[in-house]
Amino acid sequence: MDTEECCKALMVKALYSYKRINNDELTFKKGDIITVSQKGNLDGWWEGILNGEKGWFPSNYVKEITSQQNQYKSIVLKDLVDSEKFYVEELENLISNYLQPLKKTRILTEDQYKQLTSNIKEIVELHQHLLDLVEAELKKHGKQQRLGRLFLQWAPKIQKAHQFYCSLHPRAVCILDIFRRSMPWYPSINNHVEQAFQTTR
């Protein structure tokens, strides 16, 4: 087995940024993930590939990504996806089993119903869209995944939606309290609204 074949699956993470001096060297930034194509005969220099570019770089600027680290990353991402799925399912359950039936009873005015439901549907759509994008990224090869960038892009949208929901929560509680005697399923819907509030905070 030659050196290049041996190192085909080796991936390293940049500890420091490096700007190439010679044309056959590789430029990278701190945190970049590089695929090692071969460990050269020159002491301390490896050849790697980053974003389709191949070049040599000092091996003391990187650290190997171990299988244990990859396994831990997989566990964390699985927990994240499972949590998002559960969260979306809970909110969808609140909407379909409680809020929509409540609207049909006409116990609340249109304005009261809007204050109670706030922007829950928007929150569900945002999280479902994010979940779809995360799952699409996870299907890609490890070095092609851009999960960090994805979360940074979506964080402001989700934060804004959650802040709006939380700002109207006190009004929702007041409405539920006023009409509690008219709602046979008050305990259930109240618990679901509280759970939604705690999760979106």
| CATH code for the domain in which residue 93 is found | 1.20.900.10
For the chain, what is the domain count?
A: 2
Phi, psi of 50 (to 5 degrees): -140, 120
Residue partners of 96: CB distance under 8 A and separation at least 6: none
Same domain, 48 and 139: no
Q: Are 165 and 91 in contact (CB under 8 A)?
A: no
Question: Same domain for 82 and 172?
Answer: yes
Reading the block at residue 50, the tokens are 């980053």
Question: Are both 171 and 80 inside the same structural domain?
Answer: yes
Pair 92, 46 in one domain: no
Q: Indicate if 52 and 81 belong to the same structural domain.
A: no
Which two three-digit tokens encode residue 29? Answer: 């930034």
At 35 the three-state DSSP class reads: strand
39: helix, coil or strand?
Answer: strand
Three-class DSSP category at 49: strand
Both 159 and 103 in one domain: the answer is yes
Question: Is residue 56 located within the same domain as residue 148?
Answer: no
CATH number where 42 lies: 2.30.30.40
Name residue 28's beta-bridge partners: 18
Verify that 45 and 82 share a domain, yes or no. no
* pTM for the full predicted model: 0.59
Let me know: does 124 contact 92? Beta carbons within 8 Å. yes
Q: What is the pLDDT along the chain (201 residues), one digit of tens a residue?
A: 344 444 445 888 999 999 999 999 999 999 898 989 888 766 789 999 998 889 999 999 999 887 766 666 777 788 788 888 988 998 898 888 888 888 888 888 899 889 888 899 999 999 999 999 999 888 877 667 778 888 899 999 999 999 998 898 888 888 877 777 666 555 666 665 665 555 555
Q: Which residue range is the domain that position 92 belongs to?
A: 73-200
Are 77 and 60 members of one domain? no
Nearest to 84 by CA among 119, 118, 134, 149: 134
Place of tokens 């999280």: 127
